[in-house]
Structure 1
Amino acid sequence: MRILNIIFLLTFISCQSQNCDCEGFIDWESDKIINIYSDSNGKTKIAELHNDLINDDFLIFRILESNKNYFKVEIGRAMTENRITGWIKKIKEIVVDDRNYSDSQTLNLYTEPNLESKIKNKITEYSTEHYTIKNCKGKWIYAHQVKDGEVIEGWLEPSMQCPNPYTTCN
């Protein structure tokens, strides 16, 4: 009976969402349709959005919550004031850039969403590649990238995030 209780508790915790306050954008090269759902399990679709590649009007968002497979977001095109709140599936096109604009600067990705945790990856060279947002907690983003066949991932601190698809965040 104890094992069943532990299994239930672990399953319950893993299905819970956590609060977030992070920003990002849909990869500006993507024409993929982003389905917006009213619920956190993707059962009821309420809208479909996509980047306007012709007019360079890209989807930007603020993540409000995260669970295992979905983010709750406020999302809309950057040049329009209209935003919709709903859940989007975690996909590789949900991205953020980093603010490591110099080869002389080191970007740390951490094992936990705090500066006291161990460093999981150190990036010492400038890159224009986006990071896929895998998760968030508070203002921290769990960033993931594959570069030259190597997986680079970890928690990206808030001051090193650039959620702007149009410019750097200097």
Structure 2
Amino acid sequence: MNQLFAFVLLIASVVHFRTSETTSELLIDPEYKGNITIYDQPSGKVIAAVKQNFDEEDFLFLTATKQTTDFFYGTLEYSISGKQGKGWIKKGKFIGIYARNYDAGKTLSLYAEPRKSSKTTFTIQNYDNRLYQVTSINKGWVYVKVEHQGKIKQGWLAPDMQCANAYSTCN
């Protein structure tokens, strides 16, 4: 009986781990003043429309679990109140992530593919506190777009270099 219980516990922990591997924590730009529409399916029926709660500083984040070319699917949640809605959210410039290369001299690499062994497409030498637009997700990796010295740079950002916290750094 104890072995069965241990086996069930092991399986449950592996299933949870595998599920969490495929999610990406993303931010809704804390300065974004527009509506975020939640759909029942891509370009489908509107379930809800929400906005940032600036009065309470209760900002939105998105736990994205899947995507299409134009939409992320997941849970949109207020950071403080915990109110949430689940559905499809149209991709846009207001969905992003912060980088975690806080330490002096720590570079930030963007990759051609979602793995560290792939070619580096761009390296940022100094911390940049701007929100990086997220256009795609893949097993915890996010494909970002950022303007750097007047040029748009793109690539995959590793999970350990992402910060989805609107209130403080992630160190």
Matched, 1:88 2:100: no
- What's 1:167 paired with? 168
Following superposition, the deviation at residue 148 of structure 1 comes to: 3.1
TM-score (norm 2): 0.85
Superposed, which structure 2 residues align to 1:68-147 within 5 Å? Answer: 68-147=69-148
Distance 2:148 2:30 in 1: 19
Matched, 1:153 2:159: no
CA RMSD of aligned residues (A): 1.2
Mark the runs of 5 or more structure 2 residues left unpaired by the alignment: 1-20
**Aligned residue type for 2:62:** F
Distance 1:124 1:142 in 2: 19
- What's 1:31 paired with? 33
- What's 1:14 paired with? none
**Aligned residue type for 2:55:** I
Contact in 2 for aligned 1:66/1:135 (Cα 8 Å) = yes
Distance 1:132 1:105 in 2: 21
Q: Per the alignment, in what secondary structure is the counterpart of residue 159 of structure 1?
A: helix
Q: Per the alignment, in what secondary structure is the counterpart of residue 136 of structure 1?
A: strand
**Count of aligned pairs:** 151
Contact in 1 for aligned 2:142/2:159 (Cα 8 Å) = yes
Structure 1 residue ranges (4+ consecutive) displaced by more than 4 angstroms after TM superposition: none
Q: Deviations along 1:13-40, whole A, 9 cap, x unmatched?
A: xxxxxx941001110011110000000x
**Aligned residue type for 2:142:** I
**Aligned residue type for 2:132:** Y
Contact in 2 for aligned 1:20/1:66 (Cα 8 Å) = no
Q: Give the percent of matched residue pairs that are identical in Structure 1 and Structure 2.
A: 32
Distance 2:84 2:54 in 1: 18
Q: Per the alignment, in what secondary structure is the counterpart of residue 135 of structure 1?
A: strand
Following superposition, the deviation at residue 78 of structure 1 comes to: 0.6
Distance 1:98 1:87 in 2: 25
Distance 1:129 1:103 in 2: 17
Q: Deviations along 1:93-118, whole A, 9 cap, x unmatched?
A: 00100101133001110000001110
Distance 2:146 2:66 in 1: 22
TM-score (norm 1): 0.85
Following superposition, the deviation at residue 51 of structure 1 comes to: 0.4
